[in-house]
Amino acid sequence: MAHAHRNHPTYWAFFIHRVSGVALALFLPLHLYVLGLALAESTAFADFISWSNTPGLKTLETGLVVFLTAHLTGGLRLLALEFLDWRSGQKSLVALSGGISLCLGLVFLLNAY
């Protein structure tokens, strides 16, 4: 039972928070670079947009939307944990965060095609 503490929803919430935080940090410079192309090199930007319009990239983007929502809602749970009084039901809040994230991913996916 060396890793029993890892078999808990709030451990997985920590794990998702870290992985999503790093993924967002890697995505952001790329995102700003591509947006920058729209200002200076509009053909390169248009080329990128048409190149990116593939099912594979839409799937990756959907994952990113789920990660961003998970990081946002999970981050709000952590901030509440830090600054407000303790409240029980953390597992339910983790489940709520996961559910909202998957819902937003679905909304994105339904709009993507």
Contact positions vs ligand HEM (CB under 6 A): 17-18, 21-22, 24-25, 28, 71-72, 75-76, 78-79
Helix axes 55-83, 9-40, angle to 10 degrees: 120
Which of 49, 78 has the CB closer to ligand HEM? 78
Q: How far is the CB of 29 from ligand HEM (least distance, A)?
A: 9
Taking the complex as a whole, the smallest distance from the CB of residue 66 to ligand HEM amounts, in Å, to 13
Least distance (Å) from ligand HEM to the CB of residue 75? Answer: 3
- Following DSSP, what letter does each residue of the chain receive, concatenated? -TTGGGSSHHHHHHHHHHHHHHHHHHHHHHHHHHHHHHHH-HHHHHHHHHHH-SHHHHHHHHHHHHHHHHHHHHHHHHHHHHHS---S-HHHHHHHHHHHHHHHHHHHHHHH-
Is 26 or 46 the residue whose CB approaches ligand HEM more closely?
A: 26
Whichever of 14 and 48 has its CB closer to ligand HEM, that residue is: 14
Choose between 37 and 72: whose C-beta lies nearer to ligand HEM. 72
Nearest to 26 by CA among 73, 67, 59, 56: 67
Q: How far is the CB of 12 from ligand HEM (least distance, A)?
A: 13
